[in-house]
Amino acid sequence: MARLFKVALNTDGFFQEAHVKLRPVDFGADGIFLCGLAHYPKHITETISQAYGAAGRTVNLLSRNSVTASGAVCDVTRSNCVACAACITACNYGAIELVDTPFGKEATVNPALCKGDGLCNTKCPTGAIYLKHYTNEEIWSQIDAATPELD
């Protein structure tokens, strides 16, 4: 299950919540919630309370007509993609897949799943995949602006 949904386990093999106080029934991946003994051994009253919490979080998500994604998500310069799948291996959220195009297979990013952590960028051998608002040019410009004495 953990591999299928790409969610974290703790060192004892139980599911790991995103944050013990701030997001106690959430996983790091959006739209997946936890409760009960899969979290850790607990009494039934605590399990029921946690189940209410998970159900509430789920209803909150399902009651929306649309989901707003962050603007800081990855995109692919398709002409530079060689379909090596290195970015797919790096992504912990299953946000990238190879799709068939008239020019062969190319990586594509699902912006609703992308968390903008940039891991895929570090693995891409051609620089085809990039994080919007954090391109190399933008980062270098920020460094130059912060360290004018080094120009």
| Nearest distance from C-beta of residue 18 to ligand SF4, angstroms | 15
Structure tokens given for 67:
């989901």
Q: Which is nearer to ligand SF4, 25 or 96 (CB)?
A: 96
* Residues 57, 81: Cα–Cα separation, whole Å: 38
| Nearest distance from C-beta of residue 89 to ligand SF4, angstroms | 9
The size of the chain, in residues, is 151
Q: Which is nearer to ligand SF4, 47 or 77 (CB)?
A: 77
* Residues 28, 11: Cα–Cα separation, whole Å: 16
- Local structure of 76: helix, strand or coil: strand
* Residues 115, 91: Cα–Cα separation, whole Å: 9
| Nearest distance from C-beta of residue 122 to ligand SF4, angstroms | 9
- Binding positions for ligand SF4, rule: CB under 6 A: 74, 76, 81-87, 90-91, 93, 95-96, 107, 109, 114-120, 123-124, 126, 128-129, 131
